[in-house]
């Protein structure tokens, strides 16, 4: 893995980062005690603190493409990487993520670092594991809203082991963007579930966990990513 997922301009304190966001700066910074963050896009609709999945960081094709698509529709993304993945980059070897409760605490520290009293609170979100961490934090603390991409409703092949016990505690608006063939939760598997009020699922037709459709579908991953970005922007705008 490369040493960094973004172009770092300088090092800032968490309070310094919040001030840069307040004046509308974009770019990459090394946040003291936390690590690198990249701010992309104008926040004409809103800001999204966006976490990555378990196996790939913010420089994956999926994450880069989605952040570009969100910037195109007025959603500013605040992209960071968890400490275990930063260590993977430094050591140039893979390692498993820590327990999910550790990631939730780390995400809370990132949320605090991008919060400013004079700008709207950021929405929380993420891909797969990152989205799960965001949902657990929203269940623990009040949040402006959640955007959950490829949510891991259950481990692949184990649809009876659901990761939804905390969802009734979430009081903010929630949007799930899910490929209809996602092995962590297909449309057929989730069809019988009664989800809490305030949760909306946008199905991406024929998409897998990375929203890649089969060639026979006639669709392409980029098309589904742009569809998802547009839906996210509409959902956030409707809940401002």
In the chain, pLDDT over 90 holds for what percent of residues? 85
By DSSP bridging, strand 46-51 and strand 27-31 are unpaired
Give the model confidence (pLDDT) of 192-227 as tens digits.
888 898 899 999 999 999 999 999 999 999 999 999
Annotate 210-237 with b (16+ C-beta within 10 A) or e (fewer): bbbbeeeeebebeebbbbbbbbbbebbe
Give the model confidence (pLDDT) of 57-103 as tens digits.
899 999 999 999 999 999 999 999 999 999 988 888 888 899 999 99
Please count the other Cβ atoms lying within 10 Å of the Cβ belonging to residue 104. Answer: 19
CATH of domain 41-238: 3.40.50.1820
* 177-191 average pLDDT score: 95
Domain ranges of the chain: 41-238
Please count the other Cβ atoms lying within 10 Å of the Cβ belonging to residue 98. Answer: 13
- Whether the pLDDT of residue 2 is over 70: the answer is no
Q: What is the pLDDT of residue 197?
A: 87
* 23-51 average pLDDT score: 95
């Amino acid at each position: 893995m490369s040493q960094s997922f973004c172009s770092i301009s300088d090092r800032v304190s968490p309070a310094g980062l919040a001030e840069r966001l307040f004046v509308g700066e974009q770019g990459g910074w090394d946040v003291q005690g936390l690590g690198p963050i990249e701010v992309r896009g104008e926040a004409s609709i809103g800001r999204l603190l966006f976490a990555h999945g378990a196996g790939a960081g913010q420089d994956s094709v999926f994450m880069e493409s989605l952040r570009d698509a969100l910037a195109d529709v007025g959603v500013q993304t605040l992209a960071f990487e968890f400490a275990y993945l930063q260590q993977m980059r430094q050591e140039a070897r893979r390692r498993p993520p820590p327990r999910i409760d550790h990631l939730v605490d780390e995400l809370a520290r990132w949320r605090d670092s991008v919060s400013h009293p004079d700008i709207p609170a950021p929405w929380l979100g993420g891909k797969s594991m990152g989205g799960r961490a965001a949902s657990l934090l929203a269940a623990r603390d009040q949040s402006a809203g959640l955007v959950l991409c490829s949510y891991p409703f259950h481990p692949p092949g184990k649809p009876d082991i659901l990761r939804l016990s905390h969802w009734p505690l979430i009081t903010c608006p929630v949007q799930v963007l899910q490929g209809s063939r996602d092995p962590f939760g297909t449309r057929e598997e989730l069809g019988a579930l009664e989800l809490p009020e305030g949760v909306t699922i946008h199905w991406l037709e024929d998409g897998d966990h990375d929203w890649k459709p089969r060639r026979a579908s006639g669709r392409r991953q980029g098309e589904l990513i742009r569809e998802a970005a547009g839906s996210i922007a509409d959902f956030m705008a409707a809940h401002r």
